[in-house]
Chain A
Amino acid sequence: MESASTYFSGFNINDLLYLGEAALRTLWISFWAISIGSFIGIFLGLALSISRVIAYTLGAVLDVFRSVPLIIQLVLFFNFAPIIGLRLNPFEAGLIVLIVYTSAYVANVARGGIEAVGDPMRRAARSLGMTYWQDLRYVVWPIGLRAVFPAWVGVALGVLKDSALVSILGYIELLKASQILMTRTQEAILILSIAGAFYFALSYPISYYATRLEQRWSE
Protein backbone atom coordinates (compact mmCIF):
# COMPACT_ATOMS: atom_id res chain seq x y z
CA MET A 1 0.00 0.00 0.00
CA GLU A 2 1.24 3.45 -0.86
CA SER A 3 1.68 5.98 1.86
CA ALA A 4 -0.77 8.80 2.33
CA SER A 5 1.75 11.33 1.09
CA THR A 6 0.93 10.21 -2.44
CA TYR A 7 -2.58 11.65 -2.10
CA PHE A 8 -1.62 14.85 -0.38
CA SER A 9 1.69 16.52 -0.90
CA GLY A 10 3.15 19.83 0.14
CA PHE A 11 3.37 22.95 -1.98
CA ASN A 12 6.46 22.85 -4.17
CA ILE A 13 8.09 24.89 -6.89
CA ASN A 14 6.26 22.97 -9.62
CA ASP A 15 3.00 24.16 -8.16
CA LEU A 16 4.06 27.76 -8.56
CA LEU A 17 4.66 26.99 -12.22
CA TYR A 18 1.27 25.31 -12.34
CA LEU A 19 -0.35 28.48 -10.98
CA GLY A 20 1.63 30.59 -13.45
CA GLU A 21 0.39 28.49 -16.36
CA ALA A 22 -3.13 28.77 -15.03
CA ALA A 23 -2.75 32.55 -14.81
CA LEU A 24 -1.82 32.53 -18.50
CA ARG A 25 -4.99 30.56 -19.20
CA THR A 26 -7.00 33.18 -17.30
CA LEU A 27 -5.32 35.84 -19.44
CA TRP A 28 -5.95 33.81 -22.60
CA ILE A 29 -9.68 33.25 -22.09
CA SER A 30 -10.16 36.85 -20.89
CA PHE A 31 -8.23 38.23 -23.86
CA TRP A 32 -10.46 36.48 -26.37
CA ALA A 33 -13.64 37.19 -24.46
CA ILE A 34 -12.81 40.90 -24.17
CA SER A 35 -11.61 41.28 -27.78
CA ILE A 36 -14.43 39.40 -29.47
CA GLY A 37 -17.02 40.59 -26.97
CA SER A 38 -16.01 44.23 -27.41
CA PHE A 39 -16.04 43.91 -31.19
CA ILE A 40 -19.55 42.47 -31.18
CA GLY A 41 -20.61 44.84 -28.41
CA ILE A 42 -19.65 47.93 -30.41
CA PHE A 43 -21.88 46.85 -33.28
CA LEU A 44 -24.69 46.00 -30.88
CA GLY A 45 -24.26 49.46 -29.35
CA LEU A 46 -24.48 50.99 -32.79
CA ALA A 47 -27.66 49.03 -33.47
CA LEU A 48 -29.10 50.20 -30.14
CA SER A 49 -28.45 53.85 -31.01
CA ILE A 50 -30.04 53.64 -34.44
CA SER A 51 -33.71 53.19 -33.63
CA ARG A 52 -36.03 53.06 -30.68
CA VAL A 53 -37.56 49.77 -31.72
CA ILE A 54 -34.17 48.06 -31.81
CA ALA A 55 -33.21 49.72 -28.55
CA TYR A 56 -36.26 48.24 -26.85
CA THR A 57 -36.14 44.73 -28.32
CA LEU A 58 -32.41 44.08 -28.56
CA GLY A 59 -31.90 46.08 -25.39
CA ALA A 60 -34.29 43.83 -23.50
CA VAL A 61 -32.43 40.73 -24.67
CA LEU A 62 -29.03 42.13 -23.71
CA ASP A 63 -30.49 43.22 -20.40
CA VAL A 64 -31.04 39.57 -19.46
CA PHE A 65 -27.30 38.89 -19.56
CA ARG A 66 -26.71 41.77 -17.17
CA SER A 67 -29.48 40.73 -14.78
CA VAL A 68 -28.67 37.06 -14.29
CA PRO A 69 -25.54 36.03 -12.35
CA LEU A 70 -22.74 34.91 -14.63
CA ILE A 71 -22.40 31.69 -12.69
CA ILE A 72 -26.01 30.80 -13.52
CA GLN A 73 -25.45 31.66 -17.19
CA LEU A 74 -22.41 29.37 -17.26
CA VAL A 75 -24.23 26.45 -15.64
CA LEU A 76 -27.22 26.91 -17.92
CA PHE A 77 -25.28 27.10 -21.16
CA PHE A 78 -22.88 24.30 -20.25
CA ASN A 79 -25.82 22.02 -19.57
CA PHE A 80 -27.91 23.25 -22.47
CA ALA A 81 -25.31 23.01 -25.25
CA PRO A 82 -25.14 19.19 -25.22
CA ILE A 83 -28.94 19.04 -25.27
CA ILE A 84 -28.94 20.69 -28.68
CA GLY A 85 -26.07 18.48 -29.79
CA LEU A 86 -23.11 20.81 -29.26
CA ARG A 87 -20.06 19.07 -27.89
CA LEU A 88 -18.18 21.83 -26.16
CA ASN A 89 -15.28 21.52 -23.79
CA PRO A 90 -15.20 23.79 -20.73
CA PHE A 91 -12.98 26.34 -22.47
CA GLU A 92 -15.27 26.70 -25.47
CA ALA A 93 -18.45 26.82 -23.41
CA GLY A 94 -16.89 29.29 -20.98
CA LEU A 95 -15.56 31.48 -23.76
CA ILE A 96 -18.91 31.63 -25.55
CA VAL A 97 -20.72 32.66 -22.37
CA LEU A 98 -18.04 35.24 -21.54
CA ILE A 99 -18.21 36.69 -25.07
CA VAL A 100 -21.98 37.13 -24.88
CA TYR A 101 -21.69 38.53 -21.35
CA THR A 102 -18.96 40.99 -22.41
CA SER A 103 -20.81 42.12 -25.51
CA ALA A 104 -23.97 42.79 -23.47
CA TYR A 105 -22.02 45.20 -21.25
CA VAL A 106 -19.97 46.72 -24.06
CA ALA A 107 -23.13 47.36 -26.07
CA ASN A 108 -24.37 49.65 -23.32
CA VAL A 109 -21.02 51.39 -23.03
CA ALA A 110 -20.82 51.84 -26.80
CA ARG A 111 -24.31 53.27 -26.94
CA GLY A 112 -23.32 55.74 -24.23
CA GLY A 113 -20.29 56.73 -26.27
CA ILE A 114 -22.31 57.27 -29.42
CA GLU A 115 -24.91 59.32 -27.57
CA ALA A 116 -22.17 61.37 -25.91
CA VAL A 117 -21.18 62.69 -29.32
CA GLY A 118 -24.59 64.20 -29.83
CA ASP A 119 -26.71 64.71 -32.91
CA PRO A 120 -25.69 68.30 -33.80
CA MET A 121 -22.05 67.25 -34.11
CA ARG A 122 -22.97 64.29 -36.28
CA ARG A 123 -25.27 66.34 -38.50
CA ALA A 124 -22.43 68.80 -38.93
CA ALA A 125 -20.12 65.99 -39.99
CA ARG A 126 -22.63 64.72 -42.53
CA SER A 127 -23.25 68.19 -43.90
CA LEU A 128 -19.49 68.51 -44.43
CA GLY A 129 -19.95 65.71 -46.94
CA MET A 130 -18.83 62.79 -44.78
CA THR A 131 -20.44 59.42 -45.46
CA TYR A 132 -22.15 57.54 -42.66
CA TRP A 133 -19.08 55.38 -42.07
CA GLN A 134 -16.70 58.34 -42.26
CA ASP A 135 -18.80 60.08 -39.66
CA LEU A 136 -18.53 57.01 -37.44
CA ARG A 137 -14.83 56.56 -37.99
CA TYR A 138 -13.58 60.15 -37.76
CA VAL A 139 -16.15 61.84 -35.52
CA VAL A 140 -18.04 59.38 -33.36
CA TRP A 141 -15.18 56.95 -32.66
CA PRO A 142 -12.54 59.44 -31.35
CA ILE A 143 -14.98 61.52 -29.33
CA GLY A 144 -17.10 58.65 -28.09
CA LEU A 145 -14.07 56.58 -27.16
CA ARG A 146 -12.74 59.26 -24.85
CA ALA A 147 -16.12 59.62 -23.21
CA VAL A 148 -16.56 55.95 -22.41
CA PHE A 149 -13.00 54.63 -22.26
CA PRO A 150 -13.00 54.39 -18.44
CA ALA A 151 -16.29 52.53 -18.53
CA TRP A 152 -14.91 50.10 -21.11
CA VAL A 153 -11.80 49.46 -19.02
CA GLY A 154 -14.12 48.76 -16.11
CA VAL A 155 -15.99 46.17 -18.17
CA ALA A 156 -12.75 44.58 -19.39
CA LEU A 157 -11.33 44.31 -15.89
CA GLY A 158 -14.65 42.93 -14.69
CA VAL A 159 -14.49 40.19 -17.32
CA LEU A 160 -10.89 39.39 -16.38
CA LYS A 161 -11.97 38.82 -12.80
CA ASP A 162 -15.27 37.15 -13.67
CA SER A 163 -13.39 34.64 -15.81
CA ALA A 164 -12.64 33.02 -12.45
CA LEU A 165 -16.18 31.63 -12.57
CA VAL A 166 -15.35 29.50 -15.60
CA SER A 167 -13.60 27.34 -13.03
CA ILE A 168 -16.95 25.77 -12.14
CA LEU A 169 -17.09 24.22 -15.63
CA GLY A 170 -13.74 22.56 -14.93
CA TYR A 171 -11.52 24.79 -17.08
CA ILE A 172 -8.27 24.94 -15.16
CA GLU A 173 -7.65 28.66 -15.01
CA LEU A 174 -6.11 30.48 -12.08
CA LEU A 175 -8.93 29.98 -9.59
CA LYS A 176 -9.54 26.33 -10.44
CA ALA A 177 -5.81 25.65 -10.23
CA SER A 178 -5.68 27.21 -6.78
CA GLN A 179 -8.67 25.11 -5.68
CA ILE A 180 -6.92 21.96 -6.93
CA LEU A 181 -3.73 22.89 -5.11
CA MET A 182 -5.63 23.94 -2.01
CA THR A 183 -7.28 20.55 -1.69
CA ARG A 184 -4.07 18.69 -2.48
CA THR A 185 -1.68 20.63 -0.27
CA GLN A 186 -4.27 21.94 2.22
CA GLU A 187 -2.36 25.21 2.46
CA ALA A 188 -5.29 27.51 1.84
CA ILE A 189 -3.87 30.84 2.90
CA LEU A 190 -0.61 30.50 0.97
CA ILE A 191 -2.29 29.46 -2.26
CA LEU A 192 -5.09 32.01 -2.04
CA SER A 193 -2.50 34.74 -1.50
CA ILE A 194 -0.47 33.64 -4.51
CA ALA A 195 -3.58 33.46 -6.68
CA GLY A 196 -4.65 36.88 -5.40
CA ALA A 197 -1.22 38.28 -6.26
CA PHE A 198 -1.47 36.89 -9.79
CA TYR A 199 -4.90 38.45 -10.31
CA PHE A 200 -3.70 41.73 -8.88
CA ALA A 201 -0.68 41.66 -11.17
CA LEU A 202 -2.95 41.13 -14.18
CA SER A 203 -5.58 43.69 -13.23
CA TYR A 204 -3.89 46.55 -11.39
CA PRO A 205 -1.45 47.68 -14.12
CA ILE A 206 -4.32 47.97 -16.60
CA SER A 207 -6.46 49.93 -14.19
CA TYR A 208 -3.51 52.17 -13.23
CA TYR A 209 -2.52 52.82 -16.84
CA ALA A 210 -6.14 53.54 -17.80
CA THR A 211 -6.46 56.14 -15.04
CA ARG A 212 -3.25 57.83 -16.19
CA LEU A 213 -4.45 57.87 -19.78
CA GLU A 214 -7.77 59.30 -18.69
CA GLN A 215 -6.03 62.09 -16.76
CA ARG A 216 -3.87 62.91 -19.77
CA TRP A 217 -6.93 63.13 -22.00
CA SER A 218 -8.77 65.40 -19.61
CA GLU A 219 -5.92 67.90 -19.45
Chain B
Amino acid sequence: MDYNFHWRPVFKSLPDLLESALLTLEVAILSMILGILFGLALSLIRIKMTGPLKWFAVSWIELARNTPALLQLFFFGFGLGAFGIHFSPFLIVLLGLTFNNSGYLAENFRGGFNSIPETQIRASLSLGMNSFQTYTRIIIPQVLRVVYHPMTNQMVWAVLMSSLGMLVGFRELSGETQFFASKTYRIFEYFAATAIIYYVIVKIILGLSRLMASRLFKY
Protein backbone atom coordinates (compact mmCIF):
# COMPACT_ATOMS: atom_id res chain seq x y z
CA MET B 1 0.00 0.00 0.00
CA ASP B 2 1.81 3.07 -1.22
CA TYR B 3 -1.02 5.56 -1.08
CA ASN B 4 -0.78 8.49 1.30
CA PHE B 5 -4.02 9.91 2.54
CA HIS B 6 -4.23 13.70 2.57
CA TRP B 7 -7.16 15.06 4.52
CA ARG B 8 -6.03 18.66 4.88
CA PRO B 9 -7.49 19.90 1.57
CA VAL B 10 -10.81 18.33 2.53
CA PHE B 11 -10.95 20.18 5.84
CA LYS B 12 -10.06 23.41 4.09
CA SER B 13 -12.96 23.10 1.67
CA LEU B 14 -15.45 21.76 4.21
CA PRO B 15 -17.34 25.09 4.43
CA ASP B 16 -17.80 25.08 0.65
CA LEU B 17 -19.00 21.48 0.75
CA LEU B 18 -21.52 22.24 3.47
CA GLU B 19 -22.77 25.26 1.56
CA SER B 20 -23.31 23.08 -1.50
CA ALA B 21 -25.16 20.60 0.70
CA LEU B 22 -27.77 23.34 1.16
CA LEU B 23 -28.23 23.37 -2.62
CA THR B 24 -28.75 19.62 -2.49
CA LEU B 25 -31.44 20.07 0.13
CA GLU B 26 -33.01 22.95 -1.77
CA VAL B 27 -33.37 21.04 -5.02
CA ALA B 28 -34.56 17.90 -3.20
CA ILE B 29 -37.23 19.76 -1.21
CA LEU B 30 -38.46 21.73 -4.23
CA SER B 31 -38.65 18.58 -6.32
CA MET B 32 -40.63 16.90 -3.56
CA ILE B 33 -43.16 19.74 -3.28
CA LEU B 34 -43.65 19.78 -7.04
CA GLY B 35 -43.59 15.98 -7.12
CA ILE B 36 -46.40 15.77 -4.56
CA LEU B 37 -48.57 18.21 -6.53
CA PHE B 38 -47.96 16.51 -9.89
CA GLY B 39 -48.12 13.07 -8.30
CA LEU B 40 -51.54 13.80 -6.76
CA ALA B 41 -52.83 15.09 -10.08
CA LEU B 42 -51.43 12.14 -12.01
CA SER B 43 -52.87 9.58 -9.62
CA LEU B 44 -56.33 11.18 -9.65
CA ILE B 45 -56.26 11.34 -13.45
CA ARG B 46 -55.23 7.71 -13.63
CA ILE B 47 -58.03 6.65 -11.28
CA LYS B 48 -60.87 8.87 -12.44
CA MET B 49 -60.34 9.68 -16.08
CA THR B 50 -60.21 8.01 -19.46
CA GLY B 51 -58.96 9.08 -22.86
CA PRO B 52 -55.83 10.98 -23.85
CA LEU B 53 -55.36 12.59 -20.44
CA LYS B 54 -55.25 9.19 -18.76
CA TRP B 55 -52.91 7.93 -21.46
CA PHE B 56 -50.62 10.90 -20.79
CA ALA B 57 -50.63 10.28 -17.03
CA VAL B 58 -49.94 6.57 -17.43
CA SER B 59 -47.04 7.20 -19.83
CA TRP B 60 -45.52 9.74 -17.47
CA ILE B 61 -45.82 7.38 -14.50
CA GLU B 62 -44.47 4.33 -16.31
CA LEU B 63 -41.61 6.19 -18.02
CA ALA B 64 -40.56 7.74 -14.74
CA ARG B 65 -40.62 4.35 -13.01
CA ASN B 66 -39.05 2.23 -15.72
CA THR B 67 -36.08 4.26 -16.93
CA PRO B 68 -32.99 5.33 -14.95
CA ALA B 69 -33.10 8.73 -13.26
CA LEU B 70 -29.80 9.60 -14.92
CA LEU B 71 -31.30 9.01 -18.36
CA GLN B 72 -34.18 11.29 -17.38
CA LEU B 73 -31.73 14.00 -16.36
CA PHE B 74 -29.85 13.68 -19.66
CA PHE B 75 -33.16 14.03 -21.42
CA PHE B 76 -33.89 17.33 -19.72
CA GLY B 77 -30.33 18.41 -20.48
CA PHE B 78 -29.05 17.45 -23.90
CA GLY B 79 -32.28 15.84 -25.06
CA LEU B 80 -34.38 19.00 -24.90
CA GLY B 81 -31.28 20.99 -25.85
CA ALA B 82 -31.57 19.45 -29.33
CA PHE B 83 -34.86 21.36 -29.66
CA GLY B 84 -33.21 24.57 -28.52
CA ILE B 85 -34.76 24.38 -25.05
CA HIS B 86 -32.04 25.20 -22.54
CA PHE B 87 -32.26 24.89 -18.79
CA SER B 88 -29.62 25.78 -16.24
CA PRO B 89 -28.00 22.79 -14.49
CA PHE B 90 -30.14 23.58 -11.44
CA LEU B 91 -33.33 23.42 -13.48
CA ILE B 92 -32.23 20.25 -15.27
CA VAL B 93 -31.86 18.51 -11.93
CA LEU B 94 -35.04 20.03 -10.52
CA LEU B 95 -37.13 19.03 -13.55
CA GLY B 96 -35.54 15.59 -13.74
CA LEU B 97 -36.17 14.87 -10.06
CA THR B 98 -39.69 16.30 -10.22
CA PHE B 99 -40.49 14.08 -13.20
CA ASN B 100 -39.16 11.06 -11.34
CA ASN B 101 -40.75 11.89 -7.97
CA SER B 102 -44.15 12.54 -9.57
CA GLY B 103 -44.17 9.11 -11.20
CA TYR B 104 -43.32 7.25 -8.02
CA LEU B 105 -45.53 9.36 -5.74
CA ALA B 106 -48.46 9.02 -8.14
CA GLU B 107 -48.37 5.26 -7.68
CA ASN B 108 -48.08 5.66 -3.90
CA PHE B 109 -51.09 7.97 -3.89
CA ARG B 110 -53.05 5.57 -6.09
CA GLY B 111 -52.35 2.84 -3.55
CA GLY B 112 -53.50 5.23 -0.82
CA PHE B 113 -56.75 6.17 -2.58
CA ASN B 114 -57.50 2.54 -3.37
CA SER B 115 -57.06 1.63 0.28
CA ILE B 116 -60.05 3.75 1.24
CA PRO B 117 -63.39 1.99 0.81
CA GLU B 118 -65.90 3.57 -1.57
CA THR B 119 -68.51 3.42 1.21
CA GLN B 120 -66.75 6.20 3.12
CA ILE B 121 -67.35 8.63 0.30
CA ARG B 122 -71.02 7.75 0.17
CA ALA B 123 -71.25 7.95 3.93
CA SER B 124 -69.76 11.44 4.09
CA LEU B 125 -71.89 12.62 1.16
CA SER B 126 -74.98 11.40 2.96
CA LEU B 127 -73.85 13.34 6.02
CA GLY B 128 -74.26 16.46 3.89
CA MET B 129 -70.65 17.10 2.94
CA ASN B 130 -69.91 18.18 -0.60
CA SER B 131 -67.29 16.28 -2.55
CA PHE B 132 -64.57 18.89 -1.88
CA GLN B 133 -65.17 18.57 1.86
CA THR B 134 -65.23 14.80 1.52
CA TYR B 135 -61.83 14.82 -0.08
CA THR B 136 -60.12 17.38 2.15
CA ARG B 137 -61.60 16.21 5.44
CA ILE B 138 -62.12 12.47 5.04
CA ILE B 139 -60.13 11.00 2.20
CA ILE B 140 -56.86 13.00 2.03
CA PRO B 141 -56.04 12.74 5.76
CA GLN B 142 -56.37 8.97 5.58
CA VAL B 143 -54.42 8.75 2.32
CA LEU B 144 -51.72 10.88 3.90
CA ARG B 145 -51.36 8.36 6.66
CA VAL B 146 -50.93 5.51 4.17
CA VAL B 147 -48.48 7.35 1.95
CA TYR B 148 -46.52 9.12 4.67
CA HIS B 149 -43.86 6.46 4.95
CA PRO B 150 -43.36 6.01 1.18
CA MET B 151 -43.22 9.81 0.90
CA THR B 152 -40.42 9.97 3.45
CA ASN B 153 -38.57 7.33 1.46
CA GLN B 154 -39.07 9.33 -1.71
CA MET B 155 -37.64 12.41 0.00
CA VAL B 156 -34.53 10.41 0.92
CA TRP B 157 -34.42 9.20 -2.67
CA ALA B 158 -34.62 12.75 -3.95
CA VAL B 159 -31.59 13.70 -1.86
CA LEU B 160 -29.64 10.66 -3.06
CA MET B 161 -30.70 11.17 -6.68
CA SER B 162 -29.70 14.83 -6.65
CA SER B 163 -26.10 13.55 -6.55
CA LEU B 164 -26.54 12.84 -10.26
CA GLY B 165 -26.32 16.60 -10.62
CA MET B 166 -22.56 16.21 -10.79
CA LEU B 167 -22.96 14.49 -14.16
CA VAL B 168 -24.92 17.39 -15.65
CA GLY B 169 -22.72 20.19 -14.34
CA PHE B 170 -24.76 21.12 -11.26
CA ARG B 171 -22.52 22.09 -8.34
CA GLU B 172 -24.60 20.57 -5.55
CA LEU B 173 -22.83 18.52 -2.89
CA SER B 174 -21.54 15.85 -5.29
CA GLY B 175 -20.74 18.28 -8.06
CA GLU B 176 -18.81 20.52 -5.66
CA THR B 177 -16.99 17.46 -4.31
CA GLN B 178 -16.04 16.42 -7.81
CA PHE B 179 -14.85 19.94 -8.55
CA PHE B 180 -12.54 20.01 -5.53
CA ALA B 181 -11.44 16.42 -6.07
CA SER B 182 -10.47 17.21 -9.65
CA LYS B 183 -8.49 20.22 -8.46
CA THR B 184 -6.55 18.39 -5.78
CA TYR B 185 -6.76 14.78 -7.09
CA ARG B 186 -7.71 13.51 -3.63
CA ILE B 187 -10.76 11.73 -4.97
CA PHE B 188 -11.06 9.17 -2.21
CA GLU B 189 -10.69 11.65 0.64
CA TYR B 190 -13.21 14.12 -0.78
CA PHE B 191 -15.84 11.54 -1.61
CA ALA B 192 -15.43 9.88 1.77
CA ALA B 193 -16.21 13.19 3.45
CA THR B 194 -19.19 13.71 1.17
CA ALA B 195 -20.50 10.23 1.94
CA ILE B 196 -20.58 11.20 5.61
CA ILE B 197 -22.41 14.44 4.85
CA TYR B 198 -25.06 12.55 2.85
CA TYR B 199 -25.44 10.06 5.67
CA VAL B 200 -26.04 12.84 8.17
CA ILE B 201 -28.54 14.58 5.87
CA VAL B 202 -30.50 11.37 5.42
CA LYS B 203 -30.53 10.72 9.18
CA ILE B 204 -31.80 14.24 9.83
CA ILE B 205 -34.60 13.81 7.30
CA LEU B 206 -35.66 10.49 8.79
CA GLY B 207 -35.52 11.96 12.30
CA LEU B 208 -37.63 14.97 11.35
CA SER B 209 -40.07 12.73 9.54
CA ARG B 210 -40.55 10.60 12.66
CA LEU B 211 -41.02 13.72 14.76
CA MET B 212 -43.62 15.07 12.34
CA ALA B 213 -45.39 11.73 12.21
CA SER B 214 -45.77 11.66 15.98
CA ARG B 215 -47.41 15.11 15.83
CA LEU B 216 -49.56 14.46 12.77
CA PHE B 217 -50.92 11.04 13.60
CA LYS B 218 -51.70 11.41 17.27
CA TYR B 219 -55.00 9.61 17.25
Residues of A within 8 A of B (CB): 64, 67-73, 75-76, 79-80, 82-85, 157, 161-162, 164-165, 167-168, 175, 178, 182, 187-189, 192-193, 195-196, 199-200, 203-204, 207
Which chain A residues border B174 with CB–CB below 8 Å?
A: 69, 71-72
Closest partner residue, chain B, to A207 (CB atom): B66
- Summed over the interface, the residue pairs from A and B with CB atoms below 8 Å come to a total of 102
For B167, the chain A residues whose CB sits under 8 A away are 71, 168
> Of A71, A182, A200, A204, which contacts B78 at CB under 8 A?
A182
Residues of B within 8 A of A (CB): 1, 3, 62-63, 65-71, 74-75, 78-79, 81-83, 156, 160-161, 163-164, 166-167, 174, 187-188, 191-192, 194-195, 198-199, 202-203
Closest 3 CB pairs of A and B: A69-B163, A164-B68, A203-B66
Complex Cα distance A76/B82, Å? Answer: 34
Whether B163 contacts A71 by the Cβ 8 Å rule is yes
In the bound complex, CA of A204 to CA of B68 (Å): 12
Judge whether A199 and B195 touch: CB under 8 Å: no
Q: From B79, B188, B198, give the contact of A188 (CB < 8 A).
A: B79
Q: Is the CB of B191 within 8 A of A85?
A: no
Give chain B nearest CB distance to A131 CB in angstroms: 36
Q: Can you pick out 29 interface pairs between chain A and chain B where the beta carbons lie within 8 Å of each other?
A: A67-B156, A68-B199, A69-B161, A69-B198, A70-B160, A72-B194, A72-B195, A72-B198, A76-B192, A83-B1, A83-B3, A84-B1, A157-B65, A161-B67, A162-B68, A175-B71, A178-B71, A182-B78, A188-B74, A188-B79, A189-B83, A192-B78, A195-B71, A196-B75, A199-B71, A200-B63, A200-B67, A203-B65, A207-B65
Of the candidates A67, A162, A192, A200, the one whose C-beta lies within 8 Å of that of B202 is A67
**B68–A64 CB distance below 8 A:** no
Structural contact, A204 and B82, CB atoms closer than 8 A: no
Nearest Cβ on chain A to B60's Cβ, whole angstroms: 13
Q: Most chain-B Cβ atoms within 10 A of its Cβ — which of A157, A178, A199?
A: A199
Measured between alpha carbons, how far is A182 from B191 in the docked complex, in Å?
28
| Residues B70 and A164 in contact, CB atoms below 8 Å apart | yes
CB distance from B123 to the nearest CB of A (A): 25
Chain B residue contacts of A64, Cβ below 8 A: 199
Measured between alpha carbons, how far is A80 from B3 in the docked complex, in Å? Answer: 10
Nearest residue (CB) in B for A198 is B67
Give A35 to B68 CA distance when docked, in angstroms: 20
Residues from chain B with a CB closer than 8 A to the CB of A83 are 1, 3, 188
Across-interface contacts of A203 in B (CB, < 8 A): 65-67
Tell me the minimal C-beta distance from A56 to chain B in angstroms: 15
How distant is A106 from chain B, measured CB to nearest CB, in Å? Answer: 16
The distance in angstroms between the C-alpha atoms of A207 and B188, with both chains bound, is 37
CB neighbours (8 Å) of B191 from chain A are: 72, 75-76, 79
CB-CB < 8 A to B202: which residues of A? 67-68
Query: Taking the nearest CB of chain A, how far is it from the CB of B204, in angstroms?
Result: 11
CB distance from A218 to the nearest CB of B (A): 12
Q: Which residues of A contact B74 (CB under 8 A)?
A: 188, 192
A196 touches B71 (CB 8 A): yes
Distance in Å from the Cβ of B210 to the closest Cβ of chain A?
15
The CA of A80 and the CA of B174, in the complex, are separated in Å by: 18
Q: A188-B81, A203-B67 are in contact. List 13 more A-B contacts (CB 8 A).
A: A64-B199, A69-B160, A69-B198, A71-B167, A72-B174, A82-B3, A85-B1, A165-B164, A195-B71, A196-B71, A199-B67, A199-B68, A200-B63
